[in-house]
Amino acid sequence: MALSHTEAKEIQDYQSQTYPTRREISPGLEEVLYDAFPVLDHGFVRVIDYMGNDSAIVQAARVSYGKGTKKMSEDRGLIHYLLRHSHTTPFEMCEVKFHVKLPMFVARQWIRHRTANVNEYSARYSILDKEFYIPSPEHLATQSPTNKQGRGVSLSPEYSKYVMDLLKQDSELLYSHYEELLNEDSAGNILNPEKDGLARELARMNLSMNYYTQWYWKIDLHNLMHFLNLRADGHAQYEIRAYADVMLSLLEKWVPHTYEAFIQYRKEGGHFSKNGVLALKKLLRGEKITQETSGMTKREWQEFSEKLDLRL
């Protein structure tokens, strides 16, 4: 990860300031506020601001504060109850704002989560930096033969090198053409003072999807957990999962009781269909069951078996 001078200075300035407050804070998140956590080769995630903590969820659920009248164990138990029974509104009372630097193709996948407020770096107004994502060799793989949106086996070392060289060459070439279209070089010098460059809003279309963009992304806690449940999952694309894993660690710092309940009931919990519950009951009774007698499709049966680590 490479922070620009401006970004590093901004972080330093923010972290040098302190403010008195009457609101409840999250000690864990305060310790890392504004810190840039590296992701991929040039990306990062950092928390810019937040509202609420575990106590805010409890407060919203009880619709009264009564600080000091409840034990910590009771607050923890209530949060677990709320998440276990899908009472989502109290979790919507907490919000967090991230600054994220990510490849454009990851951003286009990420933006499908429409429950957040987003403000993205404008390439109509500013010139994009010469930063592009190149996967590590271990993350280069063939197309999966069974999953249309997944990866298969890893590429051979020889072909991996060829692919990486090709990606680098193309990315370098595209940026040089981007500069040419803008009529500027990387130092900002005019290449041809007798001719204006192409408008930035048009020149940007020549860049590939592995170039980095940035945005501020604000979301409530309920929808953040939904995002993390999908994107911090082993089936998610590696690149977006790398960001989700960092955000998952920040969730633990922010709301530790909620994080504990999230891992227990969502992230590492399980959901079963009606046929899945019936099949599970039969297995517990020692009855023999097959995919054909379960009422499940082959895909459902496979997922059911994997979820319970069964060898059926």
> Shortest CA distance to 32 belongs to which of 95, 96, 75?
96
Return the ∠ at Cα 218 (arms to 217 and 220), rounded to 5°: 140
The alpha carbon of residue 158 and the mean position of all alpha carbons in its chain are separated, in whole angstroms, by 32
Partner residues linked to 38 by β-bridges: 44
Q: What is the DSSP string of 41-103?
A: TTEEEEEEEEE--HHHHHHHHHTS--TTSS-HHHHHHHHHHHHHTT--GGGGG-EEEEEEEEE
DSSP-derived pairing of the beta strands 43-51 and 95-103: antiparallel
Every domain of the chain and the residues it spans: 5-133+213-267, 141-209, 274-307
| pLDDT, position 189 | 47
| pLDDT, position 7 | 82
Using a cut of 0.85, tell me whether the model's pTM lies above it.
yes
| pLDDT, position 185 | 58
> Shortest CA distance to 222 belongs to which of 38, 60, 43?
60
Q: What is the DSSP string of 167-224?
A: HHHHHHHHHHHHHHHHTB-TT--BS-TTSPPPPHHHHGGGS-TTBEEEEEEEEEHHHH
The yes or no reply on domain 5-133+213-267 and CATH 3.30.1360.170 is yes
Catalytically active residues are 231
| pLDDT 10s digits, 244-301 | 999 999 999 999 999 999 999 999 888 899 999 999 999 999 999 998 999 999 989 9
| pLDDT 10s digits, 127-186 | 999 999 999 999 999 888 877 788 889 889 999 999 999 999 999 999 999 998 988 754
DSSP-derived pairing of the beta strands 141-143 and 117-120: unpaired
Q: How confident is the model at residue 64 (pLDDT cuts 50, 70, 90)?
A: low
| pLDDT, position 281 | 94
pLDDT at 70 over 70: no
> Shortest CA distance to 111 belongs to which of 204, 3, 209?
209
| pLDDT 10s digits, 42-63 | 999 999 999 999 999 999 998 8
Burial 26-62 (b: 16+ CB within 10 A, else e): bebbeeebbebbebbebbbbbbeebbbbbbbbbbbbe
| pLDDT 10s digits, 101-133 | 999 999 999 999 999 999 999 988 889 999 999
